[in-house]
Structure 1
Amino acid sequence: MADVKKRDFRILVINPGSTSTKVGVFEGERALMEKTVDHDAATLSTFAGVSEQMPYRMETIMSALAEAGIDPNTMDAFVGRGGGLMPVEGGTYEVNDTLLDHARRGANGVQHPAQLGPQIAHELAQAAGKPAFVVNPPDTDELCDLARMTGVKGVYRHVHLHALNLKETAIRHAASMGRRYEELDLVVCHVGGGISVSAHHLGRMVDGYDIVGGEGMMAPTRCGGLPVAEVLNLIDAGRTTTELRRMCMKTGGFVDLLGTSDAREVQSRAAAGDAAARRAWDALLYQLTKAICAMAGALGGHVDGILLGGGMAHSAELVDHVRQTCDWVAPVTAYPGEFELEAMAAGARRVLSGEERPKTYTGVPVFQGFDD
């Protein structure tokens, strides 16, 4: 076993986005290649669904690997972003027939390019005769029972968060303290085009906000939580449910208020005296503070650290604001940017080294409702 752990496994990771695919090749913890492969938007629009894009995306990815002199057959494992799956607990899952079927058809009802991750990883793995994995997929669900409850019978909370980056940020922070993720209570945030704020208790993400369903704070592209009565008024005034769902994910927040999704532009406009931009930016910071403190409450007030990741964590104003308003809860640490490619490789590496056992995807949601 010692020899296995010493090996620097070569792992290829695939993270498809709306008009590009991020591809990484890692040998041990060292990145041999990290590249964003762009796809022609007009070509993508000709496909009837996400999974139909598979041959086109595969062709462009293979061209990028060949250009970089990377032979997929030299890999020890392949990892794809796990879109389209039913809610599962966190961990590393080997791609099996059920997982592949759910990714192809988007079994969770959300059509997103991340569905292509397991499909591309599987095809490359089959050719190389090596395993394919998914690590902490978007529908990771580790909520405690009380976090699931609402005040309407039969209606339960579900969360959609940046689980991969949230958990990797927590794992890295724990290691920096000489501790294990499973030993700490943390409030972990991903602050980008969408904003995830989550409570982590001893290695499980026990609460958070449904950033696909219109919960939590507003973000550059998301409306955040709205009063239900006001949503009903919008519908009565002629807004369609399709429009409102888009506001939850793509056209809310700064996009609706200011006509831009660029947080840097909003900050610049606010600094230049634009009153609407200042109000929107300050409201985002205010709501972020509220969300962090709510998650601290979910942890019973015992918080070992507050962590800020994602692209907006590059903003000194945002980080300083969180420190000034939340440092009384716990120390605030910023990890600007994202670690999604590294996180996917790390999950596979833990399995290959024997540090962690791979989990089996059954397609059965973690939560089936309460018996009584």
Structure 2
Amino acid sequence: MNAYKVFTVNPGSTSTKIALFEGEKKLYSANVSHDAEVLAQYKSLGEQLTYRKETIENLLKENQVDLEGLDACVGRGGGLLAMDGGTYEIDELVLEHSIRAANGVIHPACLGPSIAHEFAETYGAKAYVVNPPDVDELQDLARLTGIKGVYRGVHLHALNLKETAIRHAETMGKKYEECNFVVCHIGGGISVSAHRKGKMVDGFDIVGGEGPMAPTRCGSIAVADLLKYCADKDIKTVKQLCTRNGGFVNHLGISDAIELTKRAENGDRYAEMLWNTMIYQIEKCIGSMATVLHGKVDGILLGGGMVYNEGLVAQIKDTCEWIAPVSAYPGEFEMEAMASGAARVLDGKETVKKYTGVCNFQGFDFEK
């Protein structure tokens, strides 16, 4: 693969992660801080664009980081409608859908395509998004639910999940498209997914409340129990349990897994039960994804920040390694994944895709 120069942008709530790559070498990376008080002055995400871009430019200038000769800029692709995985060119439709959060999920990642597009315009580079958050490659059997007209979709850490799978396949001397994996991202949010021959054919909708409990997410709960809980609460408050105020936060008021495990080690039985329950639920989800793959699993792959915890990895190995070898990839590869996706397209190893602006699942013909 050629040593393409790629600039990656991943906006967060009060900061934006940036990185500059030349081939696989990371030349520069930073977490660009944005003044929370300044951000609060803007009424919409779109209004933050100029301020965020100027903050990034100022930091690059201060650190004498030269973007001349860029081949591509890649932005985190929030706000887009469900699509197959891959690398997509940033065009007018991507810009329009992302900035207005066409999928209804308003998150700073929606600014990723616009920031990347502006840098690409300045330096004459290509502009892409790679495996956006709304990648949805579910097989048909994973769609239908017990309520007519209500279908399953997924919101997962698609970028990191797929990059972890691609990297592991390479260690096996194979292509991602030749392997079956159960891939987990275990961090502030937890994704567990089944990958069959290059497609993420099933997984849990972690924004919708599926899957294991996580530091800030409630995970799957029986509908009847949730309705009872909702009786004297407003919908917005309850919905926040899915992404912000559930899990460790709801139980003990903390989201830091390191603090939780320290409490457990110091004899806090509540903290110990929470930690072990989360791992237990991850293991159950891994088992369910293994059945999706009919037991033909080439590996169980663990990525994300909590995978630095050796005890967590050991517990999952002890419970799940009879299914397939368990491999740990601590941390995240989001910036590397974005750069790699662009490089694969530039190198001709992958075909760039065009965003249609239409959800890739429109219901079943037999229901119409």
Determine if the TM-score, normalized by the shorter chain, exceeds 0.5: yes
Q: Displacement of 1:129 after TM fit?
A: 2.0
Q: Cα offset for 1:46?
A: 1.5
- Give the deviation of 1:66 after TM superposition: 1.2
Partner of 2:260: 266
CA offsets, 1:56-79, max 9 Å, x none? 110111112112222333211100
Identify the residue that residue 63 of structure 1 maps to in structure 2. 58
Q: Does 1:330 align with 2:330?
A: no
Q: Residue 70 of structure 2 aligns with which residue?
A: 75
Structure 2 residue matching 1:198: 3-state secondary structure: strand
Is residue 70–residue 124 contact of structure 2 (8 Å, CA) maintained in 1? no
**2: CA distance between counterparts of 1:90 and 1:262?**
31
How many Å apart are 1:86 and its aligned residue? 0.3
- Counterpart in 1 of 2:305? 311
SS at 1:187's partner residue? strand
Structure 2 counterpart of 1:146, which letter?
L
**2:248 paired with 1:231:** no
Tell me the amino acid that sits aligned with residue 181 of structure 1: Y
**What is the CA–CA distance in structure 2 between the aligned matches of 1:273 and 1:49, rounded to whole Å?**
46
Runs of 4+ in 1 over 6 A off after TM superposition: none
Q: 1:279 Cα deviation (Å)?
A: 1.0
Residue from 314, 328, 335 that aligns with 1:341: 335
Tell me what 2:28 maps to: 33
SS in 2 for 1:74: coil
Q: Deviation digits for residues 312-348 of structure 1, max 9, x if unmatched? A: 0000110000000000000000000000000000000
Give a deviation string over 1:149-186, Cα, whole Å, max 9, x none. Answer: 11111100010000000000000000011111000000
| Residue 240, structure 1, aligned to residue 238, structure 2 | no
Determine which of 192, 203, 216 is the counterpart of 2:198. 203
Instruction: Return the letter of the residue paired with 1:342.
Output: E
- One-letter amino acid of the counterpart of residue 94, structure 1: E
- TM-score, with structure 1 as normaliser: 0.97
SS in structure 2 at match of 1:333? strand
Where structure 2 has 5 or more consecutive residues not aligned to the other structure, the ranges are none
Q: Secondary structure at the match of 2:365?
A: coil
Indicate conservation of the 8 Å contact 1:23/1:36, yes or no: yes
Matched, 1:51 2:18: no
Q: Note if 1:161 corresponds to 2:156.
A: yes
In the TM superposition, 1:1-372 aligns within 5 A as 5=1, 7-236=2-231, 238-372=232-366
Q: SS at the partner of 1:242? A: helix
CA displacement at 1:45 relative to structure 2: 1.5
User: Alpha-carbon deviation of 1:250?
Assistant: 0.5
Aligned residues: CA RMSD? 0.8
State the Cα deviation string for residues 100-146 of structure 1 (Å, max 9, x = none): 10011000001000011100011111122221000000000100001
- Cα deviation per residue 1:181-226 (whole Å; 9 max; x = unaligned)? 0000000000000000000000000000000000010000000011
CA distance in 2, matches of 1:149, 1:161: 19
Q: How many residues align?
A: 366
**C-alpha displacement at 1:273, in angstroms?**
0.8
SS at match of 1:309: strand
Aligned-partner Cα distance in 2 for 1:116–1:257:
33
TM-score normalised to structure 2 length: 0.98
What secondary structure, in the 3-state scheme, does the structure 2 residue paired with 1:72 have?
coil
Q: Distance in 2 between matches of 1:285 and 1:8?
A: 40
